[in-house]
Amino acid sequence: MADIHDHGFSVCFGLLGNILSFLVYLAPLPTFYRIFKKKSTEGFQSIPYSVALFSAMLLLYYASLKKHDAFMLITINSIGCCIESIYLLLYMVYATKSARVYTTKLLIFFNFGALGSIILLTFLFSKGSIRISVVGWICAVFSVCVFAAPLSIIRLVIKTKTVEYMPFPLSFSLTLCAVTWFLYGFSLRDYYIATPNILGFIFGITQMILYLLYRGGQKELILPEIKAQETLPESKAKEQANGVQLSTVNQHQEAPAMNNGVGGMISSSQIVPSETNV
């Protein structure tokens, strides 16, 4: 009888996880094509890409400490670092000055402050297998926190009674990612990778159940930003409201893509227009 802990299974699950995660990494391409075409970031925010880059770099650090059975983690997270860096570069080129400042602060906080502190402290106060365990637990805790991000999408679906902002194919793909990386981690007995993906699987199944329940629902999205326009002339208010709604809807459609399996990229999917937060 085949043993799931056999090396062949881990290679198979790792390859599948790499392929699925790579495809999910490409999900924001329509967003950045739109940014490039319009020469403006509009209402899109940079925080999911900043967190995704931080996550990929953190997992790369963990994989470098493991040394053995880390090739699959190194490949997908190296690719993830490159892709997220390109996304952020394009964002910085076309963002407003305030958005660029905000993005720079995020990068300094996550990729220099947080990651730098983790590397420095784990090198100073731990070594060997203890260091691997500490960094593994940090990865797992961070992953669990980020996996809670789909709650915003789930809440939106329940509130609006429509799944327009939660495409089924994307939810299905992300669930497959979680299952694949769970099996990869389980086959290697790497529970720092396997455990958080259980939560990812649960949220993925929840999203698909909600899709089946609300797939015939009507659009009921009501945005506070639109209400604020009531004091403006009607034509101008409609124009501005439509602009805010369009960017917000696109953000919610893209949001689940930023929550990949733990073996690949993970990031926040709580996305709101950048102009309201910068």
Residues 213-264 have pLDDT tens digits of 888 765 544 444 333 334 444 444 444 444 433 344 444 444 444 556 666 6
pLDDT in tens, 144-200: 887 776 677 788 888 888 887 677 887 888 889 999 999 999 999 999 999 999 988
CA dist., res. 268 & res. 278, Å (int): 17
CA 194/CA 179 separation, integer angstroms: 9
Give the per-residue SS3 of 58-127. Answer: HHHHHHHHHCCCCHHHHHHHHHHHHHHHHHHHHHHHHCCHHHHHHHHHHHHHHHHHHHHHHHHHHHHHCC
Task: Name 40's Cβ contacts closer than 8 Å, sequence gap at least 6.
Answer: 94
DSSP 110: I
Tokens 């502190």 correspond to what residue? 117
Q: In this predicted model, what pLDDT tens digit does every residue of 117-141 receive, in sequence order?
A: 999 999 999 988 999 999 999 999 9
| pLDDT exceeds cutoff 60 at 40 | yes
Q: What is the DSSP letter of 269?
A: -
CA dist 277 and 102 (Å) reads: 9
The whole-number pLDDT of residue 173 equals 84
